[in-house]
Amino acid sequence: MKVKMISRNPDEYVRETKHEHHKLPRNYDPALHPMESAREYVRALNATKLERVFAKPFVGNLSGHRDGVSCFGKHPKRLSTLTSGAYDGEVRVWDLANRESIRSFVAHEGFVRGICYNVSGERFFTVGDDKNIKVWNSNAPDVGEDEEPINTILSRTMITGISHHRKESKFATCGEYCSIWDESRNDPLKNLKWGVDTLHDVAFNPVETSVLACCGSDRSIILYDQREANPLRKMVMTMKSNKLAWNPMEAFNFTVANEDCNLYTFDTRQLRNPLKIHFDHVSAVTDVDYSPTGKEFVSGSYDKTVRIYNVHQSHSRDIYHTKRMQHIVCVAWSLDNRYLFTGSDEMNIRMWKAKASEKLGVIRPRERVAFNYQEALKEKYAAHPQIKRIARHRQVPRHVLNSQKKMRAVKDKELRKEANVRNHSKPGSVPFVGEKKKAVLKEEV
C-alpha cells in the first residue's frame, strides 16, 4: 500500500528576517489562468478610472507681474530658473523650486517682445518695443548695486522676436526683416529680406542649427539658412501664423500656431502639404512649444485653454483650464519634461504637470513597478470602448463647448453645400480637395 504525503519545505515560504517581503507562490503558466484576460481588463479599467480621479494638473502660480505676461525664456542649464517679460517692460527671474521672484527690473519701454539665453546660460537677451536689444547677466547683482545691462544695442528698425543659436555665439532677431547678429558686435552680420511688411516670430532649428524660420504678417512662413545670403523658401497659408516651434528631435519638422484655431506640423522637405493638422482649439492659437522628447507639444490659445498634443495625432490628449485664467499669450515646456508654464493676460504665470495624474515627490520602487504595470495594462486595453471613453472624457468650459458646437455646425454646412454643388454639376468639374491642401495657398523658392 502506497502512502502519499504532502511535504512542505519551509525555505519556500518562511522569511529569513522580518524585514523581507513574504514569499508568495507564483504560477507563470498562462494556461492555468482561464480568467487572466478578464482580470487584466478589470485592472485596466480601474487604473483608467483612478488616473482620472487623481488628475490634478495645477501645481501653483507665480504672481508678481503688474501687467500681462508676454514671453518666456528658459535657462539652458538650470531647471529651476525661468525668465518672463511683461507688457509694461518688466522682466522677472523666477526660482521655480520656491515659486518666488528672485529678480525684477524694467528692461524696456513698452512690451517685452522676446527673451532668450545664450549657449552657456551666463547671459540672456531681451528685445522690446523701444528697438533695443539688451544683454543681461544671469547672476543677480550684488547687494546695493543697480540692475544694469552688460550691453545695449539700438536697432534701426522695430524688433518683434529673438532666438539664439544652439551652439554658436550668434542670435537672430525679426521685425521688418530677419537679422543675424554676433554677440561681440553691435551691427548685424547680415539682413535677410523677402518683401514682407513685418516678421513677428523667429526660431532657430535646435538640430540643424544653421536653419531658422520666421512667421510673417502676410500669412507666410519663411525658411532661412544663416550661411546663405538670401532666404531659402517661403510658403503662404490661408491665415496668419502666430508662433513657430521646431521639433528638438526631428531636424526637418516644425509646428506653427495659426489664427484659424488649428496647429500645423510641416516637413521642410515637403511644405506644400502639412504632415498633420491639430484641431480642438476654438479661437486663435497664440503660442506653441515642444517637449524635450519631441513626441508632444503644448499650445495656448485665446480661448483661455491649454492643450497638449501628440505630434502624430490630430486631437489633443489633454486640456487644462481654470476659471480665472484669461487669454493665454505664451507657453513653455520645462527641460525635464515634467512641467508646463503658461503666461496669460491677467498677470499670472501658472505651473502645470505635463501628465495630469503624475505623482510628485519621491516614488518608491514598489510604487514605480505598480505604475508601470498600470500603464502597460492601459496601453493593452486602450482600444476597448469603455476604457477609451473614460480616458478621453474631459470637462471643458461652457463657452468652449458652445464654440465647438458652432464650429461643427459650420463645418457640416460647408461639407453639405459642397456635396450638393458636386451632385448638381458636371461630373469631374468640382474636384475633391483634401483638408491638408486647403491650408497652404502657394510655395515660393
Residues 6 or more apart in contact with residue 134 via CB below 8 angstroms: 107, 108, 125, 126, 127, 128, 149, 151, 152, 153
0.85 surpassed by pTM:
yes
SS (H, E, C) 124-175: EEEEECCCEEEEEECCCCCCCCCCCCCEEEECCCCEEEEEECCCCCEEEEEE
Instruction: Classify domain 70-300 by CATH number.
Output: 2.130.10.10
- Residue 288 near residue 259, CB atoms below 8 Å: no
Domain ranges of the chain: 70-300
Going residue by residue through the chain (445 aa), what tens digit of pLDDT does each one get? 677 777 778 887 788 888 888 887 777 777 777 778 889 999 999 999 999 999 999 999 999 999 999 999 999 999 999 999 999 999 999 999 999 999 999 999 989 999 999 999 999 999 999 999 999 999 888 887 888 999 999 998 899 999 999 999 999 999 998 999 999 898 999 998 887 788 999 999 999 999 999 999 999 999 999 888 888 899 999 999 999 999 999 989 999 999 999 999 999 999 999 999 999 999 999 999 999 999 999 999 999 999 999 999 999 999 999 999 999 999 999 999 999 999 999 999 999 999 999 999 899 999 999 999 999 999 999 999 999 999 999 999 999 999 999 999 999 999 999 999 999 999 988 888 888 888 888 888 7
Compute the distance between CA of residue 23 and CA of residue 14 in angstroms, rounded to an integer: 7
